[in-house]
Structure 1
Amino acid sequence: MKVRHAVHQDIPKIAEIHVKSWQTTYQGIISQEYLDGLTIEDREESWRRRPLEGTFVAEDADGVFGFASFGKQRDERYSTYDGELYAIYLLQQKQKSGAGIALIAKGVEYLIEKGYQKLMLWVFEQNSAKQFY
């Protein structure tokens, strides 16, 4: 398994992981109607409109199976923090493999290189993976 910067060719797989992870991770937390309405095509279009700087993918011999995205903190109410983990998702079958920690480490390294000092993230209270963070 390796972690690297995402490139535009990764966008279709990132979009797939994003949708599939939401549908498994947030089942029972977010309305099923909303989760069922998520499409890979819509998510792919969203990813194509944003820069990939600060976005990393985890891959193995089977290909990309996870991603994380980091950058400048976006909520003015929390000015104590300057960096943010925007998203981290892995396909369900690859979770608990060490890839999440590797993605976080790469993102933190990136933020430090950019001069950020304090990182924040948002986690649903009911998210079963919140202990990971």
Structure 2
Amino acid sequence: MHNFRIATHNDIETIANLHALSWQNSYRGMLTDDYLDNHVLADRIQVWTQKINEPPAHQIILLKEIDNSVVGFVCAYGSSTDNFGTFIDNLHVLPSFKGKGIGRDLMKEVSNWSLQHFNQPKLYLKVLEDNHAARFFYEKVGGVKQADFSEIMPGGKSVNVCRYVWQKFKS
């Protein structure tokens, strides 16, 4: 059975583990090996504990489950005033489930939520420039690269980032 649900306090460890695994699989060579090998999980547990225990009113964290197991999640911040729309802060799918439409389904759920709660059709996100698989996916689902800039990532490394925007997400 496939379904979506809102994350709860009981999901912190599951989300942090999925996030850490995703970064270890996707960001090798972009973030430091020391961070990915020794610090990413503890860091992600801290991040998700705060996001779930102290959520801003405009945050949503949705989980995608298949047969009662979490296979992906998305965290977004709705906005009716941001020039780029609702911000997708995190979108991660278990490596073994990539290419099965889960990322697209999660983005569609965020798009529907954004329209319903903020009357906002636009979405945007940031992706590491060297994360070619993610960039290919975002372009495949209609994202347009709008800007390039650099950011300091967890672990202290400066990376090049691209902003992708959707005027309206169409799955």
TM-score of the pair, normalised by structure 2: 0.68
Taking the TM superposition and a 5 Å limit, the aligned residue runs for 1:12-51 are: 12-50=13-51, 51=55
Taking the TM superposition and a 5 Å limit, the aligned residue runs for 1:1-16 are: 1-16=2-17
> Is the Cα–Cα contact under 8 Å of residues 70 and 111 in structure 1 kept in the other structure?
no
Aligned Cα root-mean-square deviation (Å)? 1.9
**Structure 2 partner of 1:76:** none
Tell me the SS of whatever aligns to 2:29. coil
- In the TM superposition, what whole-angstrom CA distance separates every residue of 1:85-122 from its partner, at most 9, and x where no partner exists? 10001111111111111111111111111222421110
Shift of the 41–125 alpha-carbon distance from structure 1 to 2, 3 Å rule, reads closer
Alignment of 1:55 with 2:61, yes or no, is: yes
Aligned length: 128
- Between the aligned partners of 2:112 and 2:20, the Cα distance in structure 1 is 27
Alignment of 1:111 with 2:117, yes or no, is: no
Runs of 4+ in 1 over 6 A off after TM superposition: none
**Structure 1 partner of 2:148:** none
Give the greater-gyration-radius structure (CA): 2
Tell me the SS of whatever aligns to 1:30. coil
> Is the Cα–Cα contact under 8 Å of residues 19 and 38 in structure 1 kept in the other structure?
no
Cα offset, 1:72, TM superposition: 4.0
- Between the aligned partners of 2:39 and 2:99, the Cα distance in structure 1 is 25
Taking the TM superposition and a 5 Å limit, the aligned residue runs for 1:65-104 are: 65-72=71-78, 79-104=82-107
The share of aligned pairs that are identical, in percent, is 29
Q: Which has the higher contact order (CA 8 A, sep 6+)?
A: 1
More strand by share: 2
